[in-house]
Amino acid sequence: MCQHRPSCPAANAADHAAARVVASHPEQGWYLLCNGVVIFDDTGELAPDGHTTEPHRARPLSLAA
């Protein structure tokens, strides 16, 4: 799917989110990457094969007492 040189990471690669954005819809909260992955503002993801990744926001840091 990717025509870039060097090629973007595959959808199943660990660094798949590093692929280039080919469609941007920030008003709706999603972006399509050239490897077919859709990423959402809440950090959830949808892979081309239908596999989903739940949002994975970092937990807030707590202050040591």
Summarised one tens digit per residue, pLDDT across range 11-64 is 999 999 999 999 999 999 999 999 999 999 999 999 999 999 999 777 666 665
Q: For residues 48 and 37, is the Cβ–Cβ distance under 8 A?
A: yes
Q: Where are the domains of the chain?
A: 16-53
- Residue 65: is its pLDDT beyond 70? no
Q: Give the separation between CA 60 and CA 3, rounded to whole angstroms.
A: 39
pLDDT of 5: 85
Place of tokens 């090629």: 7
Return the higher-pLDDT residue of 17 and 2.
Answer: 17
Cα distance between the two ends of the chain: 51
> Which letter does DSSP use for residue 49 in this model?
T
What is the CA angle 46-16-55, rounded to 5?
Answer: 45
How much is the pTM?
0.79
